[in-house]
Structure 1
């Protein structure tokens, strides 16, 4: 919990290093396809990475809340 919430450094979280590495690999592959516009494609990396982490954070938070509210998982209406 400490690493994810209170220790705000890049790469310090549980998922951040793996997600960032995978994201940059995909972005580099897309930039090679772009050819001359490679710099423009790579310039979107930081903002897209931040948006990706916000989406992952929201999904994990939603799944966690769902597990607390409905611990059995079955029988939900």
Structure 2
């Protein structure tokens, strides 16, 4: 699992990554909770994700700003 950002020159930069046994609700909560504990606030930045059902299902619970996903495209 990884989180990649963009710097001022539009170059990708790795914010965080973790080797996890699976990508399920518990792992996503763990990942974003550790980001928060480390001082990385991702609640106000747009997050890109594909069709990851688990990520989309917890986005509301974690107040993540998922803008560019299959679900947000369908809502338009």
User: What TM-score do the two structures reach when normalised by structure 1?
Assistant: 0.26
Which protein has the bigger strand share?
2
Structure with bigger gyration radius: 1
User: What TM-score do the two structures reach when normalised by structure 2?
Assistant: 0.27
